[in-house]
Amino acid sequence: MVRTTVAVLFGGRSSEHSISSATAGGVLRAIDRDRYRVIPVGITRDGVFVLEDDDPDKFALDVHALPEVVDNGTRILWPHAGDRALAVRRADGTEEDLGDIDAVLPILHGTHGEDGTVQGFFDTLGLPYAGGAVLDSAICMDKHFMKIVLRDAGIAVSPWITVRRAEWTGDAAAVARRASALPFPWFVKPARAGSSVGVSKVHDESELAAALDLAFAEDDKVLVEQGIVGREIEVGVLGPRAGGAPRVSLPGEIVLTGREFYDFEGKYLGGDGVDVVCPADMTESETTAVQDAALRAFAAVEGHGLARVDFFLGADGPVVNELNTMPGFTPISMFPKCWIASGLSYDALITDLIEQAIERA
C-alpha cells in the first residue's frame, strides 16, 4: 500500500504555541501510520520552520512543563510553486530530500497560523492543506468581524463594543461610557486570540481598566461583550466529503462547578471547577436548534475543513459565542470528544481532515 505523505505543522508564533505543540503530540500518536507517512514540522516562537522528532511523548501535555518547539538548527525548505518536494537543511549545512508531500495538516492555533496567513502561503505554493481556507480563517480569528458576518446572516450573537488601543489610551472615560450600555457582567477579550488567553470577566466598571490592560497585552483590538445567561454548548462541524454536505456532531457542554468562566487553566492545565460533558443532556429540539445554528454559522463564514461552534443556550435559543477554525484538538478536547460521541474515532477524525484536504485540491 502506497502511503500518503503528510507534513504535520505545529507550534507557531502565537501565545497558543504550547497548546498547538500538545495537539501535535496527540495527532502524532493517533495518526494512521499504515496510511500516512508523517513529516513533523515545528515552527518556533520566532517563526523558524524546523524538522522535528516524530515522537509523540516529546509533545505530551504536561501542566508543569508545557511542550515547546525549539530551534534545533534544521531549516525546512518548502517546495517551489507547482512542486511538492520537501527538503531540510541540517545544522551542518547539508541538505536532504524528504520526498514529495501530498498534504499539510496545520494544527496551529492563533495568529500566524489560524488567521489565514499560513493558509495563503500554502495556496501560493499550491500545496493541499487541511482545515480552514484563507477567508474563513481570517474572519473567525477576528471576533469583531466574525460577529458582524454572523449578525448580518441573521444569527444571534452577544451584544458588544469594540475598543482600539488608541481609543482607550486617548479617552478612557468615553470607552467606559460606551460599555455602560451593556448590562453586567462583561467579558473582555482580545479580538484575535484564543484558548481564553487575555480574557477577563468584569462585574462592575472598577474592573474594566485591568481587564482591558490584560487584553491589550495580546492585541490592539479588544471586545467588551455582554455576558449571556445560558448553558455553554459546543458543537463540532466537519466540511463535506466527496461532494456531500457539511456534517455536525452531537453537542457537548462546559459545566462550571467552581469557575467564573472556562479559562486557560480550566481548559488545559487541569484546573478544578469545570467538567467537559459530551454528549450534553439536551432535548431533541435543543439539539436540533444548536446543530442547525452551527451549520448556518459555518456557511455564513464560508467554512472549510472544520470548526467548533460555541454557544450560550438560553430561554430564547442559541446565541453564538464564536467559531474556532482549528479548535483544541488534544484527545481530551471538546471537538474530538463530540465527534467520538457521534461515532467518529480520534484517528478517523484526523484521517477525515487529511482526506478532505486532498479531495478539495
CATH code, domain with 119: 3.40.50.20
- Categorize the per-residue pLDDT at 227 as very low, low, confident or very high, splitting at 50, 70 and 90: very high
Whether residues 246 and 293 share a domain: the answer is yes
Q: For position 216, which CATH number holds?
A: 3.30.1490.20
pLDDT on residue 274: 77
Which whole number is the average pLDDT over 30-50?
A: 97
Q: 23-27, 267-271, 322-326, 349-353: lowest mean pLDDT where?
A: 267-271
Taking the mean position of all CA atoms in its chain, how far away is CA 156? 21
Return d(Cα 138, Cα 112) in angstroms, integer.
10
Are both 200 and 332 inside the same structural domain?
no
Which 8-state DSSP code applies to residue 128?
-
On whether residue 134 sits in a domain, the answer given is no
Do 293 and 148 lie in one domain? The reply is: yes
Tell me: do 233 and 222 sit in the same domain.
no
In a domain? residue 353: no
The three cell numbers of residue 129 are 492543506
Confirm if 47 and 81 have CB atoms less than 8 A apart: no
For residue 190, give the amino acid letter: P
Q: Are residues 12 and 118 in the same domain?
A: yes
pLDDT at 262 over 90: no
Task: Say if residue 84's pLDDT is above 80.
Answer: yes
Ramachandran assignment for 243, one of left (phi > 0), alpha (psi -120 to 50 degrees), beta (any other): left
Both 39 and 148 in a single domain? no
Range of the domain at 298: 139-157+229-345
211 and 252 fall within a common domain? no
pLDDT at 332: 83
90 in a structural domain: yes
In a domain, 354, yes or no: no
Three-state DSSP state, 8:
strand
Q: Are residues 237 and 330 in the same domain?
A: yes
Same domain, 103 and 35: yes
Q: What pLDDT, on the 0 to 100 scale, is given for residue 131? A: 97
Q: Does any domain span residue 356?
A: no
Other CB atoms within a 10 A radius of the CB of residue 22 amount to: 24
CA Rg value for the chain: 20
Residues 276 and 214 grouped into a single domain = no
Among residues 226, 241, 267, the one where a domain terminates is 226
Q: What is the pLDDT of residue 258?
A: 57
In this structure, the answer to whether residues 98 and 188 fall within a common structural domain is no
Q: What is the pLDDT of residues 184-218, one digit of tens each?
A: 999 999 998 766 778 999 999 999 999 999 999 98
Q: CA of 46: how far to CAs of 49, 68, 152, 215, 258, in Å?
A: 9, 12, 37, 22, 37
Of 185, 191, 323, the C-alpha closest to 248 is 323
Domain ends where: 226, 250, 268?
226
Question: Are 235 and 183 within one domain?
Answer: no
Distances (CA, A) of 208 to 27, 198, 319: 39, 13, 24
What mean pLDDT is predicted for residues 99-109? 97
Rounded Cα–Cα distance for residues 85 and 79 (Å): 5
Cα–Cα dist 50/77, whole Å: 9
Q: 113-153 pLDDT, tens per residue?
A: 999 999 999 999 999 999 999 999 999 999 999 999 999 99
pLDDT, residue 266, reads 47
Structural domains in the chain (count): 3
Residue 352 lies in a domain: no
Domain boundary pick from 226, 251, 271: 226
Q: Alpha-carbon torsion 345, 118, 16, 153, what sign?
A: negative
* CATH number of the domain to which 245 belongs: 3.30.470.20
Own/partner long-range contacts of 149-152 (Cβ < 8 Å, ≥24 apart): 149/300, 149/301, 150/297, 150/300, 150/301, 150/320
Per the domain annotation, does 202 fall within a domain?
yes
Residue 238 lies in a domain: yes
Rounded Cα distance between 310 and 329, Å, is 15
Please give the Cα distance from 151 to 7 (Å, whole number): 37
